[in-house]
Amino acid sequence: MSRKVIISGGGTGGHIYPAIAIATALQQKDPDLEVLFVGALGKMEMEKVPRAGYNIVGLPIAGIKRALSIDNLVLPFKLLNSLLKAKKVINDFGPDVAVGVGGFASGPLLMMASLAGIPTLIQEQNSYAGITNKFLGKKAAKICVAYPEMQRFFPQEKIVLLGNPVRSDIVDVASKNKEALVHFGLKPDRKTLFVMGGSLGARSINESIHAGLDQIIGAGYQVLWQTGRSYIDTAQTAITELGTNRVKAFDFIYTMDLAYAVADVVVSRAGALSVSELCLAAKPSILVPFPAASEDHQTKNALTLVEQEAAWMIKDSDAKQNLVQKALELLGDIGKQESLKSNIRKLAKPTAADDIAAEVLKLIR
C-alpha cells in the first residue's frame, strides 16, 4: 500500500514552487508515494501545480482585505466551508502526513489534519513567521525553517533549520549562460540586468525601471524584465517607443534557471523563494521589499542578507528615486559584484528540498 502526503498552501510562486520542490524530492525518495496538493480556488496554484504534473483540490478560502471591504463579511462562511471541504479531502485521500507551506489553504487543511490525528509538518519560509503558522505550530509535529532564531515563534524542540527548497535546476546556472543568451535573444558582449517582481509583478520596481530604461540602455547594458501580467503591455509600449532590441520583457518567466544564468545583476522583491534562489544562484542583488507583506517579512528577509553584506536593499518608497542609479552603480563595479556573490553563496542551502522530504517521511508511522 503506497504512502500518501498532502501538501497545502499557495497564493504566490513563493509558496507554490517550494511545495513542488518538496513533492518532487518525496517522489524521488519513494516513487510509489502519492502526493495531493490543496490550494485556494482562484489562486495561481490551481494553474501552476497541474502544470508541474500534480493533482490539486481547491478550497474556497480567502484572506482578509486590509481596506474596509464587503468581502470581509463573507470570510467566516468561506472559512467554515473550507474547513468542511478540507475534512472531506482528508477523509477521501487518507494522508499519512500533511505538509503546510504557507498561504490561505494551509490553515484549514492543517487544522483538520491535526484534529484527525494526522501528523503535520510546517515549512516556514520567512525570517518572521506569520500568524497562521504561529498558530499551527502549536500542534505541528515538525517545523522546518529557513532562518536561525525562529524559536521566537515556535517551540524550540520542533524546529529544524534546513533552508528553503528551490528548483534543482538553479544549482549550476553558470554553465547555462550561452544557452540562456540564445533563449532570451540577448548579446554576450553586454552586461545584463535581470528585473523581477515576484510571480505577480511589482508596481514600484516596474515603474522605476520604466522611468530609467533610457539611462540603462544609454549606459550600454541590456535588460531582462519580468513584469507580471498587469504591466506587460505598458512595458512593451515603452520598449517600442525606445526603439531598442536590448530590453526583453515577459509577463512571467518559466525558465528561471536561464534567467539567473544570463543575469549579471538582479533587481528583485525579497520574498522567501526569491531570496533562496538568489543565494543558490549566487547573484549580486538589489532587493526592494514589498512593504505590504504580512508582518513586513520581506524587509526582514532582505535585512538578513544586508547584515551579511550579501545584498543591497532599497526601500519601496525610495525605488523611483534610487533604484536605477544603484543598479547602474552595481553593474559598473566588478569588485562589489564579486564580494556580494561570495557572501550570498555562503547562505545557500542546496539540499533543502531533500532534507525536508526526509523529515516528512520520518513522520509516517
Cell of 117: 490525528
Read off the DSSP letter of residue 6.
E
| 13 neighbors 165 (Cβ within 8 angstroms) | no
137 among annotated binding-site residues: no
What are the CB-based long-range contacts (under 8 Å, 24+) for 78-81? 79/108
121 among annotated binding-site residues: no
35 among annotated binding-site residues: no
Determine if residue 149 is left, alpha or beta; phi over 0 gives left, psi from -120 to 50 gives alpha, anything else beta.
Answer: left
Grid cell 529557513 is found at 146
199 among annotated binding-site residues: yes
Q: Which of 105, 116, 114 is nearest to 137 (CA)?
A: 114
The neighbour count for residue 354, using CB atoms within 10 Å, is: 18
- Measured in whole angstroms, the distance separating CA 66 from the mean position of its chain's CA atoms is 22
276 among annotated binding-site residues: yes
SS3 224: strand
275 among annotated binding-site residues: yes
106 among annotated binding-site residues: no
What DSSP line would sit under 232-248, residue for residue? HHHHHHHHHHHT-SSEE
361 among annotated binding-site residues: no
103 among annotated binding-site residues: no
363 among annotated binding-site residues: no
| 145 neighbors 164 (Cβ within 8 angstroms) | no
E-assigned strand segments in the chain: 4-8, 34-40, 55-59, 97-100, 120-124, 142-145, 159-161, 192-196, 222-226, 247-250, 265-268, 285-287, 312-313
What DSSP line would sit under 274-307, residue for residue? HHHHHHHHT--EEE---TTSGGGHHHHHHHHHHT
274 among annotated binding-site residues: yes
208 among annotated binding-site residues: no
Binding residues: 12-14, 126, 167, 199, 253, 272-277, 298
Binding residues for UDP-N-acetyl-alpha-D-glucosamine: 12-14, 126, 167, 199, 253, 272-277, 298
